[in-house]
């Protein structure tokens, strides 16, 4: 039993680390393509900090998973960790948004707002995907802030 527990703990940590590395690479690239690039570096810091706080506080409280948030009073955090489709939507939307921003980056305009305005002038399908990913991304950022703020209390 202890082997299984340590293997699943290792797997959980490895999963989170690989997710953070892929997000970090995308955000570091975007910080070089857009102005202000600091926006992407702040998002990177928030992503790493929130996941570190979530994992570490779970470890300290003796939980077997950082996704065990039953004792928290925050409904959005419970929804995020309790319903895999919602979590998947938020996570995938964030990564797809970063990929969209990467694909639409050009040498003519390094302004993030100008590129977003340009995306909104694309085909209706592109606009729907962009807005959907923006909603999922925003929810994920709110959840990241909640994770950091709850761990500070």
What letter would DSSP give residue 36?
S
Instruction: Give residue 4's pLDDT.
Output: 43
Q: One of 19, 47, 68, 106 is an active-site residue; which one?
A: 19
Instruction: Give residue 94's pLDDT.
Output: 96
Residue 106 phi, psi dihedral angles, 5° rounding: -140, 175
Instruction: Give residue 88's pLDDT.
Output: 94
- Residue 68's DSSP bridge partners are none
71 a catalytic residue: no
Taking phi first (over 0 means left), then psi (-120 to 50 degrees means alpha), and beta for anything else, what does residue 62 get?
left
Instruction: Give residue 71's pLDDT.
Output: 63
pTM of the model: 0.81
Reading the chain (153 residues) residue by residue, the pLDDT tens digits are 334 444 566 776 677 778 888 899 999 999 999 988 899 999 999 999 988 887 777 666 666 555 656 666 788 988 998 889 999 999 999 999 999 999 999 876 678 999 999 999 999 999 999 999 999 999 999 999 998 886 544
């Amino acid at each position: 039993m202890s082997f299984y527990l340590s293997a699943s703990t290792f797997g959980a940590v490895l999963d989170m680390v690989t997710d953070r590395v892929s997000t970090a690479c995308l955000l570091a690239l975007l910080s070089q393509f857009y102005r202000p690039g600091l926006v992407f570096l702040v998002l990177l810091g928030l992503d790493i900090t929130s996941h570190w706080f979530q994992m570490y506080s779970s470890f300290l409280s003796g939980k077997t998973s950082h996704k065990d948030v039953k004792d928290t009073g925050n409904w959005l955090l419970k929804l995020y960790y309790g319903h895999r489709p919602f979590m998947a939507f938020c996570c995938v939307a964030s990564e797809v948004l970063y990929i969209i921003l990467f694909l639409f980056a050009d040498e003519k305009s390094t302004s993030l707002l100008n590129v977003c305005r340009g995306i909104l002038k694309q085909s209706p399908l592109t606009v729907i995907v962009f807005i959907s990913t923006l909603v999922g991304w925003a929810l994920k950022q709110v959840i990241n802030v909640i994770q950091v703020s709850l761990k500070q209390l």
